[in-house]
A = this chain, B = another copy of it.
């Protein structure tokens, strides 16, 4: 076996019959080196291509030699196909041995003829054909010892335990995220996540919202200074924004009328739970309204409903792929979205035996319990809880003008967990100053924020949605690290 190395790739090549090294260069500049080949996609390998000779680039998913034959499964993302190298007209004994020695996860180019099979190949996405390989080239060779096996990483909890088959724990998956992301489950999760962002933006753009970009490095910790990361900034120090909210509001004061942004938000919270990250992606909305802050709630809930519908209609394959490893009930929602008042929620909890005061905040277990009660009564996994007690909300929350104990604020829940917190904001500098003083916030630190409202500000409201939580809860997953590509928590900064 000879190994040809050129600067721009490490490729090992083997011609089908002669075992000679072919000139499969990747990347060199001379057009003469670009083979005149069309590469076929695995998902396009159907019986219509039967008996055609095709080229394919894919990973070696599995490899099994058996006498004079070597069976490979070749994979592209969530699609795979069976391939065969057999001693005969097309391949030498040497070539079968070569193929059998290609390490799993290596990337290969194969020239092969497509053959219809009599019996469906249940273990592959392409069940009606297999490939008979005539030539095979290694484009990138994987090291022989993988830190985890893909088939172990996608095994449902508990399955195969009796046969002593392994599952992979979450830290091992995250430590080796580049490999873990190759599993069908991960591919599906992050394609769906990409869809959530697109549906969010498309819906809002259609409603006349403008996308804005807000700074993440800020000069003052706005909301009292807790849970904020400090950054060294030349000769001074600064902070990482806990949300784009103040900037969204400034855009409303600056006449953008309806805005959204998608970007990272940072929370220096030492919470090691299934649903907290120190950095996550915020889907943020802010809008001026005409007469009532329920106009804002309606815009947000309609946006969520459009996302749910888009996922249901366009991401069924992804949803079912994830369900294979992590079974869950289909996500249910109502149109229009159910809106309950906080006092109604408290009443439902009390009826179920929970003891809590009118102005107490909801604990996490009570949130979940209320989610179950709402699901039983209204058959929905998504609802809004409106009119939170003023005492448990941030200083910039508009009090309820009719009942000083409550506020024009709301949370939204998916499967009983909070995914959005929002409110009508105070748009009057004087009232804002009063409320900040009440919350013992240093007025000097929020001066430029308060000043934004001195030169005419429309009534407005909004909210911030956690992207990873939406994906986790929509799919019925149980840890937000599964829906963050490279999660950050108090104990994890890598990869």
**Interface residue ranges, A against B (CB under 8 Å):** 6-10, 25-31, 33-35, 39, 57, 59, 76-77, 105-107, 139-143, 146-147, 177-182, 186-187, 190-191, 193-194, 197-198, 201, 205, 210-220, 229-234, 236, 238, 240, 247, 250-251, 253-257, 262-264, 266, 268, 270, 278-279, 281, 289-294, 387, 398-402, 404, 408, 424, 427-428, 430-431, 448-449, 451-452, 454-459, 467, 484-486, 488, 490, 493-495
- Whether B9 contacts A427 by the Cβ 8 Å rule is yes
Contact of A255 among B77, B141, B230 (CB under 8 A): B77
Interface centre among A57, A230, A254 (most CB of B within 10 A): A254
CB distance from A55 to the nearest CB of B (A): 10
A10 touches B431 (CB 8 A): yes
CB distance from A291 to the nearest CB of B (A): 4
Q: Flag if A8 contacts B178 (CB, 8 Å).
A: no
**Contact yes or no, B234 A231, CB < 8 A:** no
Q: Closest B-chain residue to A295, C-beta based?
A: B34
Is the beta-carbon distance between B250 and A177 smaller than 8 angstroms? Answer: yes
State in angstroms the CA–CA spacing of A142 and B28 once bound together: 64
A194 and B194 CA atoms in complex are apart in Å by 19
Query: Are B6 and A190 touching (Cβ within 8 A)?
Result: no
Give the residue name and chain of the B residue nearest to A210 (CB). B194
Nearest first, the 7 closest Cβ-Cβ pairs linking A and B are A181-B254, A7-B401, A219-B493, A142-B456, A194-B211, A448-B495, A142-B455
In the complex, A281 Cα to B264 Cα: how many Å?
A: 12
Q: Does A448 lie within 8 Å of B268, measured CB to CB?
A: no
Q: Which residues of B contact A147 (CB under 8 A)?
A: 455
**CB distance A211 to B197 under 8 Å?**
yes
Beyond A26-B291, A27-B408, A213-B484, 19 additional contacts (C-beta under 8 Å) are: A7-B399, A26-B292, A28-B402, A29-B400, A33-B292, A107-B456, A142-B456, A143-B455, A178-B254, A180-B254, A181-B250, A181-B251, A198-B211, A212-B485, A213-B281, A230-B232, A234-B268, A263-B263, A452-B495
Question: Is A290 a contact partner of B57 (Cβ separation < 8 A)?
Answer: yes
In the assembled complex, the CB of A35 is this many whole angstroms from the nearest CB of chain B, namely 6
B430, A238: Cβ atoms closer than 8 Å: no
CB-defined contacts of A139 to chain B, threshold 8 Å: 458-459
Q: Distance in Å from the Cβ of A243 to the closest Cβ of chain B?
A: 14
A454 to B104 alpha-carbon distance, docked (Å): 12
Across the interface, which residues of B come within 8 angstroms of A220, CB to CB?
A: 494
Min CB gap A203→B, angstroms: 13
A231 contacts B229, C-beta separation under 8 Å = yes
Q: Which of B31, B190, B401 contacts A8 (CB 8 A)?
A: B401
Contacts of A449 in B (CB 8 A): 495
**B485 A214 Cβ-Cβ under 8 A:** yes
For A8, give the chain B residue with the smallest CB separation: B401
Chain B residues within an 8 Å CB radius of A279: 215-217
Question: What are 6 inter-chain pairs, A to B, with CB distance below 8 A?
Answer: A26-B291, A27-B291, A59-B456, A187-B256, A197-B213, A231-B231
- Complex contact B140–A493 (CB within 8 A): no
Residues of B within 8 A of A142 (CB): 454-456
Q: How far is the CB of A57 from chain B (nearest CB, A)?
A: 7
- Do A270 and B455 touch across chains, with their CB atoms under 8 A apart? no
Closest B residue by C-beta to A253: B178
